[in-house]
Amino acid sequence: MNTSLFQELKERAIDTQLCFFCGTCVAVCPADCIVFKDNGPELDGECTDCGQCLETCPGLGAPLQELDSLVFGRLKTEEEDQSGMGIFIKDRNLVSGDEEIFNCGYTGGKITAILAYLLDKKEIDAAIISSWGKTSPFNWLSWPMIAKSRDDLINGTGSKYVFSPNLIALKEILDMKDIDDVALVGLGCHIQGLRKLQYLGKTYSNLVKKVKYSFGLYCGAPMKQKDDFLLHVAKLCEVSEQDIIQVDFRRVSMEFDVVYEVVLKDGRKVSKQMNIFELFQILPQYQCWKRCRLCTDYSAEYADISFGGAHVTSRTPAGEDIVKRAIDDGWLITPQQNTNSMIDNMVEEIDRSMVMMKKVKNKKRIFDYRAKGNPTPEYD
> What mean pLDDT is reported for the chain?
93
pTM: 0.94
Mean pLDDT of 217-229: 89
Residue 154 has pLDDT above 80, yes or no: yes
Nearest-angstrom CA–CA distance, 161 and 196: 24
Q: How confident is the model at residue 341 (pLDDT cuts 50, 70, 90)?
A: low
Lowest-confidence segment of 47-61, 81-95, 347-361 by average pLDDT: 347-361
Closest CA to 190 of 292, 58, 65, 102: 58
Render pLDDT for 305-319 as a digit per residue (tens, 0 to 9): 999 988 999 999 999
| Range of 212-221, 335-344, 346-355 with top mean pLDDT | 212-221
Q: Are 183 and 118 in contact (CB under 8 A)?
A: yes
Inform me whether the pLDDT recorded for 143 exceeds 90.
Answer: yes
Give the pLDDT score at 348: 83
**Percent of the chain scoring above 70 in pLDDT:** 97
pLDDT for position 295: 96
For residues 1 and 65, the model is more confident at: 65
* Best CA proximity match to 169, nearest among 150, 188, 151, 194: 194
pLDDT above 90: residue 252: no
Categorize the per-residue pLDDT at 301 as very low, low, confident or very high, splitting at 50, 70 and 90: very high
Q: How confident is the model at residue 100 (pLDDT cuts 50, 70, 90)?
A: very high
38/20 Cα distance (integer angstroms): 13
3-state percent helix, strand, coil for the chain, nearest multiple of 5: 45, 20, 35
Overall average pLDDT of the 322-337 stretch: 94
Tell me whether residue 277 is exposed, middle or buried, using C-beta atoms within 10 angstroms of its C-beta: 0 to 12, 13 to 18, 19 or more.
Answer: middle
Determine the 3-state secondary structure of 130 from DSSP: strand
The strand pairing partners of 87, in sequence order, are none
Q: Are 271 and 259 in contact (CB under 8 A)?
A: yes
Helical residues (DSSP H) of the chain, grouped into ranges: 4-9, 24-28, 52-56, 64-72, 78-82, 99-104, 110-120, 150-155, 169-172, 188-200, 205-208, 226-237, 276-282, 317-328, 341-356, 362-371
Residue 293, pLDDT > 70, answer: yes
Confidence of residue 43 (pLDDT cuts 50, 70, 90): very high
pLDDT for residue 1: 44
pLDDT of residue 340: 52
**More reliable by pLDDT, 91 or 220:** 91
